[in-house]
């Protein structure tokens, strides 16, 4: 079974410095039909104007992934971490028992576009943690590159959750596939471009949830960037 959600069906928030599309219920946007898929609870497609950003705020008991599509994002947190992440970087923040952090666009000229992704942790009350790693375009071209996993396999960033996050960059006509194991479900988010997913046409901002099928096949229609999440079926 494949369920498609188009980009224009997402929640939308706009302010003087932030333009954000919410794949799932978040903040003032509430849709009981879209509360998340398995342990994946947030995909916010955020665009931040130059010199602005999220002031210091608190999180707990969540694995938070930041994935920059364009521009730069400056991060500071209460653990003493400070960095600027750029396209290709994957940042994981384990909020655990509690952490404060801020995120700003340090540029004075260019907007920042990034995906904010939240995954439920395996356990509550974990010790907060931080990790960051760069994955080149070559790592992702024409293949599904594992970016995040529970055990850090294949050079991925480890996270305290039973989820795997992959990314691929596809030219027109390129194809990648992913087998869906028993007891798992796949969720795909098209970050850029246009693709066919199991025969369905999806464009930038569109998403698809695939369950009870043996595999997912992604075919590029033009230069595209896609994230794929391999998630447990929750009981």
pLDDT digits (tens, 9 = 90+) for 77-100: 999 999 999 999 999 999 999 999
Buried b (16+ CB within 10 A) or exposed e, 31-53: eeebebbbbbbbbbbbbbbbeeb
pLDDT over 90 at 33, yes or no: yes
pLDDT, residue 131, reads 97
Average pLDDT over residues 11-25: 97
Average pLDDT over residues 69-80: 97
Average pLDDT over residues 163-179: 98
Indicate the pLDDT class of residue 133, thresholds 50, 70 and 90. very high
Report yes or no: 196 and 202 within 8 Å, Cβ to Cβ: yes
Between CA 43 and CA 226, with CA 122 as vertex, the angle to 5 degrees is: 30
What's the predicted TM-score (pTM) here? 0.97
Phi, psi of 138 (to 5 degrees): -60, -30
Indicate the pLDDT class of residue 54, thresholds 50, 70 and 90. very high
For residue range 104-116, list pLDDT tens digits in order. Answer: 999 999 999 999 9
Residue in the block written with tokens 């869906």: 180
pLDDT, residue 1, reads 87
pLDDT over 90 at 235, yes or no: no
Please provide the average confidence, as pLDDT, over all residues in the chain: 97
Which CATH class for the 2-232 domain? mainly beta
Give the whole-angstrom CA distance, residue 219 versus residue 51. 37
pLDDT, residue 152, reads 97
Residue in the block written with tokens 């066919």: 196
Q: Domain residues of the chain, as ranges?
A: 2-232
Residues ≥6 apart with Cβ < 8 Å to 199: none
pLDDT, residue 109, reads 97
pLDDT, residue 66, reads 98
Report yes or no: 119 and 63 within 8 Å, Cβ to Cβ: yes
pLDDT, residue 221, reads 96
pLDDT, residue 96, reads 98
Phi, psi of 155 (to 5 degrees): 75, 15
């Amino acid at each position: 079974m494949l369920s498609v959600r188009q980009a224009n069906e997402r929640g939308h928030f706009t302010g003087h410095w932030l333009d954000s599309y919410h794949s799932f219920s978040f903040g003032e946007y509430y849709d009981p039909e879209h509360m998340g898929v398995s342990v994946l609870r947030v995909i916010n497609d955020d665009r931040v104007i130059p010199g602005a950003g999220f002031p210091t705020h608190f999180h707990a008991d969540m694995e938070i992934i930041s994935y920059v599509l364009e521009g730069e994002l400056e991060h500071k947190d209460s653990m003493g971490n400070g960095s600027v992440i750029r396209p290709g970087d994957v940042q994981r923040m384990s909020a655990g028992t509690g952490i404060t952090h801020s995120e700003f666009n340090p540029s004075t000229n260019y907007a920042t576009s990034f995906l904010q992704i939240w995954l439920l942790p395996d356990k509550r009350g974990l010790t907060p943690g931080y990790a960051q790693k760069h994955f080149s375009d070559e790592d992702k071209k024409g293949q599904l590159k594992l970016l995040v996993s529970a055990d850090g396999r294949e050079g991925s960033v480890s996270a305290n959750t039973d989820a795997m996050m992959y990314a691929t960059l596809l030219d027109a006509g390129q194809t990648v596939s992913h087998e869906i194991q028993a007891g798992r479900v796949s969720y795909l988010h098209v970050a850029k471009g246009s693709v066919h997913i199991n025969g369905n046409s999806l464009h930038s901002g569109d998403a698809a949830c695939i369950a009870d099928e043996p595999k997912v096949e992604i075919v590029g229609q033009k230069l595209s960037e896609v994230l794929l999440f391999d998630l447990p079926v929750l009981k």
